[in-house]
Structure 1
Amino acid sequence: MNTIYALSTAPGRAGVAVIRISGEGAREAVTALTGEAPGRPREAKLRRFRDPESGAPLDLGLLLFFEAPASFTGEDVAELHIHGGRAVVAAMLRALGHMHFLRAAAPGEFTRRAFEHGKLDLTAVEGLADLIDAETEAQRVQALRQMEGALGKLYECWRARLVKALAYAEAEIDFPDEEVPGDLLAKLGPEIHALASEIAAHLDDGRKGERLRDGVEVAIVGPPNAGKSSLLNRLAGREAAIVSEEAGTTRDVLEVRLDIAGVPVTLADTAGLREAANAIEREGVRRALARAEAADLRLVLVAPGAGGDFSLAREGDIRVVNKLDLDAEVPKGAIGISALTGQGLDALEAALREKIGAAYEAQEHPLITRARHREGLSDCAASLARAGEALEAGRDAELVAEALRLAARALGRITGRVDVEDLLDVIFRDFCIGK
């Protein structure tokens, strides 16, 4: 059974639900449900759907048919746009399940078929997954660029240049006595150097793409009773943390998820940094220090009467003085706020937007978004370095060619051109059913 079906919209009550069918049996399924052929492709048609076994009406809805290869999967695809009530969807899926030539799709199987039929490369597949999961505007923009092929085109361009360079090296090996342009290997040096430089610049991106995809970590650090939990609540717009005058109330790291400048941000409230009074508080301080060290950005918060100063601050931190309502003194370079009244919060939020927005603003070139991309590019760069060293040392053309072959293969693994079978299950398993 090579024809699959699935609900492609979210389960639950809705105005409209879409069920997809993909494969060589899509036409037969449509005929069985409607009593007539699909008709002209890409034209929406109003159809009454009936149970093929009993003839009982199921629903009145729209039918769209996409003829292979001009479809998302590259196969014949039918889309049934029906009413989104639970009973309607269940009845339609039950009718499809009774057709012996159909089977329910596995998670991500529609997208996997699109990859297998050359509709998407692996980077575009991952971009589609990121687009579905995008929580913020910046994530949406990055995912859409990747899904539309920005990364794949860049990597395939590099791969094509590598294949051309490899052809030169192979010509030197295979036709040493034939009439081919002389000294082919010498012509490879500038191209290998140029490719290595471009890939090195691409790798030296501060992991912005991965951080944007996964989210930015912002930690609030400072002494006890400085108002860290109150500030977390203010920025979150809700009572996420317990606030108390008693020092050491926060024992563990508390987190809230925010959207700042279109970037997903995990804001963490940490335990007050002081000499701990007991084992539990010591663990809280240890975790606070670890979180502060790992954070992408830190808000260092102090307040009069709470002790402490900005000695913990490092370059790039946002320095904040709380309790302006008590006439706290604000040194130059710091932002004064009152977590109690909200005074100064606009200035702090603007500083956060500026820092985060500047760090993750749109780039001219697409960014690396996954560890496997970085690993493949690093392997490619290492192979290019070996090819360059072999050229400079005047070694045999076979060594140069092998290094270039490995470099091209490393790029091919990223887009799915070679050696990817072991990656496919990992990449597609996190897709929702129906996609």
Structure 2
Amino acid sequence: METIFALASAQGKAGVAVIRLSGPQSHRAAKVLSGGDLPLRGMCLRELQAPDGSRLDVGLVLTFHGPSSFTGEDVAELQIHGSTASVNAVLRVLSEMPDLRLAEPGEFTRRALENGKMDLAQVEGLADLIDAETEAQRKQAQTILAGELGDLAERWRRDLIRAASLLEAVIDFADEDVPTDVSPEVRSLVNAVMADLEREAKGVRIAERIRSGFEVAIVGPPNAGKSTLLNALAGREAAITSEYAGTTRDIIEVRMDLAGLPVTLLDTAGLRETEDHVEGLGIALARKRAENADLRVFLTEDPEALGIGMQSGDIQVLPKSDLRSDGTEGVSGKTGQGIDRLIHNISVVLRDRTARSGIATRERHRVAMLKSSAALSEALRVLDSGPDLYDIAAEELRTAIRALESLVGRVDVENLLDEIFASFCLGK
């Protein structure tokens, strides 16, 4: 096993930089740099020196003895001053040492997976935590990183192994009288797992939205103040505004944190009949994006006139409330009137939807759970045919178990690993 090293903290000038080493030569390399013996596990302040005796920096040297480390291997970390020159000097000396090489993106985490310190779902949770921008994303990633999906999959797997073992016991004693009918317990175990799988699979799409972000489209007729409203919500001039109808011809997107949820606001072209070819293309695109959005804000007095049906949860607000003298409530991007109420209403709708999210967060998770559920459904069908087909039912249970094992990376995931770890930064 090679020893790898990399800068584990962010690139650029900082107060402290962390350089991580993992592998059988990590403690030896740290010892050479610090010029003295190091504990198998501990921390000490040392002067780091180049091979010619020149001083590189002064920093903390931390050592971890495998398997009690992040990667499950011997690990050393060098916490030095975070100047670019200091970091480069230490990395250069490490690169010249025998049996050491620069780590590839995500290689430390990959070793943690290979050494049983994390399962694949936890690796995905760690990637999500690194990318988290909002509180909801942080909480969701922490749930996966804590191993809750793996624990759930292990419970399902344990119940299905129990069910399969009951059937196989009947098969093994086929020539003898088996005093107990095992089918009720098998059916109970399988039905319970199927119910859990169905519930979790339904929650994946909402969980994916928490991870990747909800889309909220602002739709309305031309010159209704959609771009002005978008700018007010974003707190900056994200879209061009003018008194001329049809100014917006493309989709303007602004990503923001809305009450802890990741939201992308879409400013769409004004919806109307037009003979202008370019504007027509923009309107067609606006309709398509609005229909596919998670939520639509209708900035109009007559939603039906826009040709887009309102769906459950959609919000209608009256435009340009600053110009109204009839006392009706609306919203004005120009004065800010009604903006807080609109943000609250959007947040309430999205929060209500996130309440239906599950622990699983990826399409890969959903596919694995549906594959397992389909095998369980077939097992129940075969089970109704009696003991003569118990061997087939047991094989269907094993198929369901293998699908759950792929959920946490025990089998059939090699083709996913390169893609997953490529998204990690060096040193992670």
Matches within 5 A, 1:360-399: 360-361=354-355, 366-394=358-386, 396-399=389-392
Cα separation, partners in 2 of 1:271 and 1:303, compared to 1, 3 Å: same
For 2:405, the equivalent position in structure 1 comes to 412
Cα distance in 2 for partners of 1:207, 1:138 equals: 15
Partner of residue 320 from structure 2, selected from 320, 323, 338: 323
For 1:259, the equivalent position in structure 2 comes to 257
For 2:229, the equivalent position in structure 1 comes to 231
Cα distance in 2 for partners of 1:184, 1:362 equals: 35
TM-score (norm 1): 0.94
Partner of residue 285 from structure 1, selected from 283, 286, 299: 283
Per the TM alignment, residue 370 of structure 1 is displaced from its structure 2 partner at its CA by: 0.6
Cα distance in 1 for partners of 2:370, 2:326 equals: 50
Partner of residue 344 from structure 1, selected from 327, 338, 346: 338
For 1:240, the equivalent position in structure 2 comes to 238
Instruction: Give percent identity, aligned residues only.
Output: 51
Structure 2 unaligned runs (5+)?
none
Cα distance in 1 for partners of 2:284, 2:377 equals: 42
Query: Contact 1:199/1:381 (CA < 8 Å) preserved in 2?
Result: yes
Query: Contact 2:204/2:361 (CA < 8 Å) preserved in 1?
Result: no
Per the TM alignment, residue 353 of structure 1 is displaced from its structure 2 partner at its CA by: 2.0
Cα distance in 2 for partners of 1:307, 1:396 equals: 58
What value does the CA root-mean-square deviation take over the aligned residues? 2.0
Larger CA deviation: 185-194 vs 209-218: 185-194
Per the TM alignment, residue 35 of structure 1 is displaced from its structure 2 partner at its CA by: 1.3
Cα distance in 2 for partners of 1:355, 1:426 equals: 34
Cα separation, partners in 2 of 1:145 and 1:74, compared to 1, 3 Å: same
Cα distance in 2 for partners of 1:104, 1:362 equals: 43
For 1:37, the equivalent position in structure 2 comes to 37
Cα separation, partners in 2 of 1:184 and 1:29, compared to 1, 3 Å: same
Cα distance in 2 for partners of 1:29, 1:69 equals: 18
Query: Contact 1:27/1:37 (CA < 8 Å) preserved in 2?
Result: no
For 2:192, the equivalent position in structure 1 comes to 194
Deviations 1:255-312 (A, max 9, x none): 00010121100000000000022111111011000011001011000269x9957974
Cα separation, partners in 2 of 1:48 and 1:399, compared to 1, 3 Å: same
Query: Contact 2:203/2:356 (CA < 8 Å) preserved in 1?
Result: no
For 2:147, the equivalent position in structure 1 comes to 149
For 2:48, the equivalent position in structure 1 comes to 49
Cα distance in 1 for partners of 2:110, 2:80 equals: 25
Structure 1 unaligned runs (5+)?
none
For 2:300, the equivalent position in structure 1 comes to 302
Deviations 1:159-187 (A, max 9, x none): 11111111112222233236765333453
For 1:429, the equivalent position in structure 2 comes to 422
Cα distance in 2 for partners of 1:224, 1:50 equals: 68
For 2:251, the aligned partner's letter is V
Query: Contact 2:221/2:272 (CA < 8 Å) preserved in 1?
Result: yes
Larger CA deviation: 29-38 vs 58-67: 29-38
Deviations 1:8-50 (A, max 9, x none): 0011010100000000001110111011122251x32100001
Classify the secondary structure of the residue corresponding to 1:45. strand
For 1:400, the equivalent position in structure 2 comes to 393
Larger CA deviation: 409-418 vs 186-195: 186-195
For 2:295, the aligned partner's letter is L
Classify the secondary structure of the residue corresponding to 1:336. coil
Query: Contact 1:413/1:420 (CA < 8 Å) preserved in 2?
Result: yes
For 2:22, the equivalent position in structure 1 comes to 22
Cα distance in 2 for partners of 1:311, 1:189 equals: 47
Per the TM alignment, residue 362 of structure 1 is displaced from its structure 2 partner at its CA by: 8.7
Cα distance in 2 for partners of 1:375, 1:34 equals: 50
Classify the secondary structure of the residue corresponding to 1:419. coil
Deviations 1:174-217 (A, max 9, x none): 33236765333453112111211121122222621111001000
TM-score (norm 2): 0.95
Report how many aligned residue pairs link the two structures.
427
Classify the secondary structure of the residue corresponding to 2:203. coil
Cα distance in 1 for partners of 2:327, 2:314 equals: 16
Query: Contact 1:131/1:139 (CA < 8 Å) preserved in 2?
Result: yes
